[in-house]
């Protein structure tokens, strides 16, 4: 493995480059597992395993660094925390020296049995050390127990990290109830640490793996306050009592759980180790939003009325709640039954349309027939009455009002310049590029308000017949600006002229289809009345034009500077219409099923 050779070379030739050594070890830790290191010496896998464990332990220094960075991003108020180094003077490393005798001699096996109130016999030794039904070790004797007990005595004791933190608090004179009640470690706590922490100050940890280590100890400390000494002594007595209960009540040894010796971070986080800053920022923002939502949700009070703001859904005040299976969806129940190996007898999922069939219907303008086929026709007619006609008509034959809706949905009066079809529709409805900026903005806002209050197809009919001004007044009343009324009146006159030309052309081509005299007289009378009304509106608009000429000229000059066309993607003809039906289309194709 070339990476290991480079790491070894760096350690040998440049041992002062601690940052580089740690980073190389971290890269090896990420890319290679312990099993990969065993391939270094296939004949003796243990050699490679030890090298891998050493590299992984060295790489954990960079893991700790990344953990601090993630904690700074996640934990609220992290900038107010103080990070200190905990090291007990009694644990300082010294040269190897002859083992001195302890002031309190260690117990023997016989004394341990006596303390537990057990007979010192081979039967009791097997009862404590062997599982029930273990025929291999039925010959286990107390002599073998004594031999094993003597081998377990270490040359020096070790103090676990949790105990070091507790003793550091005591050495600094800090009460055990003052700090935040949690001790985070990269590994699960052993049984002795977990029981001791529960007794001394109720410090929860990441968890307990249940192992007991003979190296576990509490070192001698000087200069501690009497309150801390009393608390530690009381915790040790409780620990001894608890161990006696465990040995007497559960004599059969349990299988040991796997313990991480080179585990990951002790900070619970959903942020993976990644160098992708964009992804990291996305995750950080999501976690912050979730934490903010959880905080605000906890502060909310229960609503006094079922119609209050915080009522989640109608099931809270429903007298007949929906069945759990239907409320959560059929798929979850079906998958649950399948995992148990039992048949599913619940409702079936609605039929879905294959995508090929859906696409063929879309290209042939027969999509409404697909809606009817799969049971959504009535829903479409009820919620979207014009969708059936819209989808059944080729794009070039659709009424211009849908292009106008598209233009209004763009949200920019200048956006139509990049879309010729939309620009032509806007100009047909009077929003001409030859108008000054003020008139264009007024018409743009006017059509947005009118489309929100009127049926688009009725608006199309009023435009075709030259009655757009009357139609607008019927829908919006007196809220229409006088300048807009003048522009609409001019638009109606031009549209009626077009209609008259079309009528005369038809009359010339088919004179035998001329209307009766009475009908012709009535038609002329109506046109005369409409012409008089629109002439008044036009005259009124011209008067206002004279008064506001200076303002218009100024705005028009600015318009020439600011008419910067922005490219917009081609949207659907009616975003409001098609946006509402998007979930319906997905339900037909089955794309949204979980």
Check residue 341 and report its DSSP letter.
T
Residue written as token pair 């016989």 = 110
Helix intervals (H) in 341-481: 355-363, 367-373, 377-383, 387-392, 400-410, 420-428, 437-453, 456-465, 468-476
Answer for the pair 51, 40: CB distance below 8 angstroms, yes or no: yes
Q: What is the chain's mean pLDDT, rounded?
A: 73
Percent of the chain, pLDDT > 70? Answer: 67
User: Rounded to two decimals, what is the model's pTM?
Assistant: 0.38
Q: Tell me: the pLDDT tens digits for 338-371?
A: 778 787 777 776 778 889 999 999 899 898 898 8
By residue count, the chain amounts to: 594
Distance, CA of 530 to CA of 473 (rounded, Å):
14
Q: Tell me: the pLDDT tens digits for 190-218?
A: 888 888 888 887 788 888 888 888 778 88
Supply 41's token pair. Answer: 């010496």
223: left (phi over 0), alpha (psi -120 to 50) or beta: left
Instruction: Please name the residues in contact with 331: beta carbons below 8 A apart, sequence gap of 6 or more.
Output: 349, 593, 594
Residue 304 host element (H or E): none
Residue 513: what pLDDT?
53
569 vs 1, residue with greater confidence = 1
Residue 569 clears pLDDT 70, i.e. is over it: no
Question: Which of 91-95, 230-234, 445-449 is the least confident region?
Answer: 91-95
Question: Which of 3-7, 227-231, 510-514 is the least confident region?
Answer: 510-514
CA count, 13 A, side-chain hemisphere, 238: 16
Distances (CA, A) of 499 to 401, 463, 506: 18, 11, 11
Distance, CA of 385 to CA of 363 (rounded, Å):
21
Residue 47: what pLDDT?
84
Residue written as token pair 């190296």 = 215
Residue 172: what pLDDT?
81
Residue 273 clears pLDDT 60, i.e. is over it: no
272 vs 59, residue with greater confidence = 59
Supply 69's token pair. Answer: 């960075």
Residue 388: what pLDDT?
87
Distance, CA of 466 to CA of 201 (rounded, Å):
86
Angle (nearest 5°) at CA 283 between 279 and 285: 115
If one counts every other C-beta atom within 10 angstroms of the C-beta of residue 163, the result is 21
Residue 98 clears pLDDT 70, i.e. is over it: no
Residue 181: what pLDDT?
76
- State mean pLDDT over 312-331: 50
Q: Tell me: the pLDDT tens digits for 118-149?
A: 788 888 787 777 766 666 566 778 888 888 77
Residue 288 host element (H or E): helix 277-299
Distances (CA, A) of 436 to 74, 78, 444, 556: 53, 57, 12, 5
Distances (CA, A) of 482 to 40, 473, 536, 542: 89, 11, 11, 10
Is residue 75 exposed (0-12), middle (13-18) or buried (19+ Cβ within 10 Å)? middle
Residue 305 pLDDT class (50, 70, 90 cuts): low
Check residue 186 and report its DSSP letter.
S
Question: Which of 46-50, 365-369, 507-511 is the least confident region?
Answer: 507-511
Residue 180 clears pLDDT 60, i.e. is over it: yes
Among 218, 219, 232, which Cα is nearest to 175's? Answer: 232
Distance, CA of 491 to CA of 462 (rounded, Å):
11
Answer for the pair 438, 555: CB distance below 8 angstroms, yes or no: yes
Angle (nearest 5°) at CA 96 between 94 and 99: 110
Distance, CA of 356 to CA of 371 (rounded, Å):
15
Residue 479 pLDDT class (50, 70, 90 cuts): confident
Residue 310: what pLDDT?
53
Among 370, 330, 328, which Cα is nearest to 352's? Answer: 370
Residue 346: what pLDDT?
73
Q: Tell me: the pLDDT tens digits for 445-467?
A: 888 888 888 899 898 888 888 89
Residue 264 pLDDT class (50, 70, 90 cuts): very low
Answer for the pair 409, 396: CB distance below 8 angstroms, yes or no: no
Instruction: Please name the residues in contact with 442: beta carbons below 8 A apart, sequence gap of 6 or more.
Output: 481, 483, 484
Domain boundaries, the chain: 2-74, 154-249, 323-351, 353-396+573-594, 399-568
Angle (nearest 5°) at CA 376 between 372 and 381: 90
Alpha-carbon dihedral sign for residues 182, 185, 186, 191 = negative
Distance, CA of 374 to CA of 384 (rounded, Å):
17
Distance, CA of 211 to CA of 255 (rounded, Å):
10
Residue 394: what pLDDT?
87
Is residue 42 exposed (0-12), middle (13-18) or buried (19+ Cβ within 10 Å)? exposed
Check residue 314 and report its DSSP letter.
G
Distance, CA of 571 to CA of 411 (rounded, Å):
12
């Amino acid at each position: 493995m070339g990476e290991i050779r480079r790491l070894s070379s760096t350690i040998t030739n440049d041992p002062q480059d601690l940052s580089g050594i740690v980073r190389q070890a971290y890269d090896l830790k990420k890319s290679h597992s312990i099993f990969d290191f065993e391939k270094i010496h296939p004949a003796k896998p243990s050699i490679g395993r030890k090298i891998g464990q050493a590299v992984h332990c060295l790489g954990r220094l960079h893991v700790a660094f990344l953990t601090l960075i993630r904690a700074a991003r996640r934990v609220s108020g992290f900038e107010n925390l103080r990070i200190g180094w905990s090291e007990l003077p009694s644990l300082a490393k010294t040269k190897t020296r002859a083992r001195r005798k302890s002031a309190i001699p260690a117990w023997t096996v016989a004394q341990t049995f006596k303390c537990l109130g057990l007979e010192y016999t081979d039967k009791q030794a097997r009862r404590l050390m062997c599982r029930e039904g273990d025929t291999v070790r039925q010959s286990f004797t107390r002599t073998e127990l004594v031999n094993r007990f003597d081998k377990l005595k270490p040359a020096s004791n070790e103090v676990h990290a949790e105990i070091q933190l507790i003793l550091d608090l005591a050495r600094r004179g800090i009460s055990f109830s003052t700090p935040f009640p949690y001790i985070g470690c990269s590994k699960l706590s052993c049984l002795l640490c977990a029981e001791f922490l529960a007794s001394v100050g109720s410090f929860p940890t990441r968890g307990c793996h249940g192992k007991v280590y003979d190296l576990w100890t509490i070192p001698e400390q000087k200069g501690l306050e009497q309150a801390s000494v009393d608390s530690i002594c009381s915790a040790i007595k409780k620990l001894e009592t608890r161990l006696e209960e465990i040995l007497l009540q559960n004599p059969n040894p349990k299988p040991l759980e796997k313990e991480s010796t080179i585990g990951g971070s002790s900070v619970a986080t959903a942020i993976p180790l990644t160098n992708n800053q964009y992804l990291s920022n996305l995750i950080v923002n999501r976690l912050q939003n979730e934490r903010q939502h959880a905080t605000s949700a906890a502060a909310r009070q229960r609503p006094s009325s079922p119609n209050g703001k915080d009522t989640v859904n109608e099931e809270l005040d429903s007298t007949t709640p929906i069945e759990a299976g239907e409320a959560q969806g059929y798929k979850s129940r079906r998958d649950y039954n399948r995992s148990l190996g039992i048949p599913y007898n619940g409702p079936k999922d609605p039929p879905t349309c294959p995508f090929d069939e859906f696409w063929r219907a879309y290209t042939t303008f027969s999509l409404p027939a697909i809606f009817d086929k799969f049971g959504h026709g009535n829903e479409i007619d009820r919620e979207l009455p014009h969708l059936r006609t819209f989808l059944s008509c080729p794009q070039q034959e659709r009424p211009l009002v849908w292009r106008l809706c598209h233009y209004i949905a763009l949200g920019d009066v200048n956006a139509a310049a990049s879309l010729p079809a939309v620009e032509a529709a806007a100009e047909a409805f009077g929003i001409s590029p030859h108008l000054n900026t003020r008139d264009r903005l007024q018409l743009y806002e006017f059509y947005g308000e009118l489309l929100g209050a009127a049926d688009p197809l009725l608006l199309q009919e009023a435009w075709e017949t030259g009655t757009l001004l009357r139609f607008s007044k019927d829908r919006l009343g007196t809220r229409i600006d006088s300048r807009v009324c003048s522009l609409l009146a001019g638009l109606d006159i031009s549209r009626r002229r077009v209609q008259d030309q079309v009528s005369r052309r038809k009359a010339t081509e088919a004179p035998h289809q001329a209307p009766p005299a009475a009908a012709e007289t009535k038609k002329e009378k109506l046109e005369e009345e409409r012409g008089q009304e629109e002439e008044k509106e036009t005259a009124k608009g011209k008067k206002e034009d004279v008064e506001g000429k200076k303002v218009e000229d100024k705005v028009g000059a600015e318009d020439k500077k600011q008419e910067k066309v922005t490219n917009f993607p081609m949207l659907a003809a009616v975003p409001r219409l098609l946006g509402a039906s998007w979930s319906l289309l997905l339900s037909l194709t089955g794309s949204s099923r979980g």
